[in-house]
Amino acid sequence: MAFSCQCIHVSASARRPSISPDFDSQKSLLSSTVKPLLKELQARPMRVDVPQTLRNASRYLLDAFVDSVFKFADQPLLPSQSNFAPVGEIGEAVKITSIEGEIPIDFPEGIYIRNGPNPLFGGLQSTVSVFGRSSDIWVEGEGMLHAVHFTKDSGGKWSVFYKNKYLDTETFRIEKECNRPLFLPTIEGDSPAILAAYLLNQLRFGKVNKDICNTNVFEHSGKVYSIAENYLPQEIDIFSLNSHGNWDVNGSWDRCFTAHPKRAPGTGELVITGVDAVKPFLVLGVVSADGKRLVHKVDLKLERSIICHEIGVTEQYNVIMDIPLVVDINRLVRGGPLIKYEKDGYARIGVMPRYGDSESIMWFDVQPHCIFHILNCFEEGEEVVVRGFRQLKAIIPGPDFGHNRFEWFSRGFKPINDESIEDGSFFSRLHEWRLNMATGEAKERRLTGDEFSMDFPMINENYIGLRNNYGYAQVADSNASSSCALPKYGGVAKLCLEDQNNRISKNDSEEEMINVKYHKIGEKQFCTGAAFVARNGGLEEDDGWIVTFVHNEETNVSQVHIIDTKKFDGEAIVKITLPQRVPYGFHGTFISTIPKNV
């Protein structure tokens, strides 16, 4: 869930930054830093490589300027936010000896792996300068993988290993070698500070921000990739967790890459998108089933740059969610935020043939909303059915700079309050859109009520793009989330999509809700990165398990729980205690593998 823009054009019309009271002292410090560098350059012999000397001098001057003018500081965490703090790498894989319960004999061998932000220098960064303030937002921080390996010997005895590791991106290496933060925050803050950060990051490092790679892990054609949608995927070895560089589909994909690519049913092709802050705003691609070729690439010709976190697929179509969470450089230059949820903006859903162009997209106007995650899409007669988790306001990037961040997030995480549009604005419910390809009509309805907010969905992946009867999601603890102003998930839900006998009355009308089963983890325990694991040889869609990382905030112990989806509201059948704390993160997946020693 990390968002940023790879390209930015800084207009000369940017407003003049306000000068802070200590500008004279910063100017003096800058002067004292630059003068010795100029003397050093003057003293160099004349027989030098002039272009290289100029490049080195520019780098020295830029570094000196940033060090003199910008002051970095860690963003503090409250006690209730303690498990959002980063951890160190554990080193070699550690064999787990504390396992409560028995891993089922038909549980598949493989690796349960989860991605998440793990700031390299102790915390997310903020800066103060003559240009103003800027800050990382809560979804940023270098990516770290947490992996649990399940292997079984010939006698059916299980061995479980745990390992974690940072994603070794180019920008991670740059900062690690210097052992200090270097990239200036570029998402939230005063407009002049963000514009300066973009320019200085580009001049110093050749890119405007870090390749944090902290959102998701996916597999395609036997290879595994880690991804955040501000850059290309990183190929990883799932045993060592070493990074093997960028995946640009043999040089044919030259832009960012969605954190949620989708495998097309029937063909095995991978449908991807890439956003940018300048035109073309959204490009769609189709990668061959063997991962070697980009077989289709098209500019969707949107008129605005949007945060399009996930794409949907059906047997014939691609589904695009065009929502009013907008990236606008002109707004930034005028002094506004770079990313903003435009509550009065339009929302629509586009349905296009798999290899269509922008002219082939059929657009359906829908009620304005924010959505990050799609549960599934499928075709039913003349309709394309889209199910996803809808909320009233975007949790990304946060309030406009200068607002009370804690209060803003705290109110948004509260339960739905009909008397306040601010309370519960992040409350996320399963929503359904039925898009009639023959008539152009769009019908929409809620499928879950106001009892629990839920998100981070998963399904049996054999049903992606096909009609499915079951889905799963993490269930937010609204009170705990509101108290710490960051999302915490106190359980998981099983969504019985074809069981619609729960009716509620709302504003003198009746709405039909689906049946939902809940698995509650326990007091002051919260889950992250839940994934569905299908049973070996299972014949039914819901025959399998949910695996999830769980952290106990009272004991400060992290575990992996295995939950039987056929006995969903019971206790976890297996609890695996890990050798160190696992911070809350984002998406997890289970990858079946050929047994291998770790």
* DSSP string computed for 367-415: ---EEEEEEEEEEETTEEEEEEEEESS--SS-SPTTS-HHHHHHHHHSP
Helix residue ranges, H only, 324-368: 329-333
Q: Judge whether 373 is annotated as a binding position.
A: yes
* Burial of 358 (C-beta count, 10 Å sphere; 0-12/13-18/19+): middle
Please state the three-class secondary structure of 8-36 as a single string: CCCCCCCCCCCCCCCHHHHHHHHHHHHHH
Residue 440 and residue 455: Cα distance in Å, rounded?
29
What secondary structure letter does DSSP report for 448? S
Residue 286, CB half-sphere, CA atoms under 13 Å: how many? 21
Q: Are 3 and 187 spatial neighbours (Cβ–Cβ below 8 Å)?
A: yes
Which two structure tokens, joined as six digits, stand for 366? 């829908």
Q: Is 296 annotated as a binding residue?
A: no
Q: Is 309 annotated to bind ligand?
A: yes
Return the DSSP state at 418: T
CA 340 to chain centre: 17
Q: Is 369 annotated as a binding residue?
A: no
List residues bridging with 526 in a β-sheet: 551
Confirm if 291 and 249 have CB atoms less than 8 A apart: yes
- Dist CA 433 CA 374 (whole Å): 11
Residue ranges of the binding site for Fe cation: 260, 309, 373, 587
Residue ranges of the binding site: 260, 309, 373, 587
